[in-house]
Amino acid sequence: MTIKKLQKINQFSKLCKTEINAILTKKGYKLTKEEDHPASFESKYWVWTNYRTKHCYRFIWDGKNDWFSLEESPYINDPEKVGWADVIVVDFEGHVSNLDYWKEIIREITFEIE
């Protein structure tokens, strides 16, 4: 992965994280986990948990496959061991520098959680 591509992906993922966080915080979710995996194709993810409704969302950058995914789980106690269901999966390959595509992806992701 080139440095320029990595910078664009990091920029986009931070933008998505900010948008998702703003919506979910208003709904009672808290950002409870954040992991970066540089050795795994720069993959990363964030988890938001709502303890009142017993629900969580996870937003993932899969660096190996070049896609972003928003998942959900009703298991707030260690959901990684139980399972996640895809809410939306977005292919990012070939769209790293396409700002119009970025806006479309953010609209699609935020629509799913609003």
Q: Using an 8 Å Cβ cutoff, are 41 and 63 in contact?
A: yes
Q: Cβ atoms within 10 A of the Cβ of 49, count?
A: 22
Walk along the chain (114 residues) and give the pLDDT tens digit of each residue.
678 888 888 888 999 999 999 999 999 999 999 998 776 677 899 999 999 999 999 999 888 888 899 999 988 776 666 789 999 998 877 777 778 888 998 999 999 999
Q: What is the pTM of this model?
A: 0.86
CA distance 47 to 49: 7
CA distance 18 to 3: 22
CA distance 76 to 64: 27
Q: What is the DSSP letter of 111?
A: H
The Cα angle at residue 78 between residues 68 and 73, in degrees rounded to 5: 50
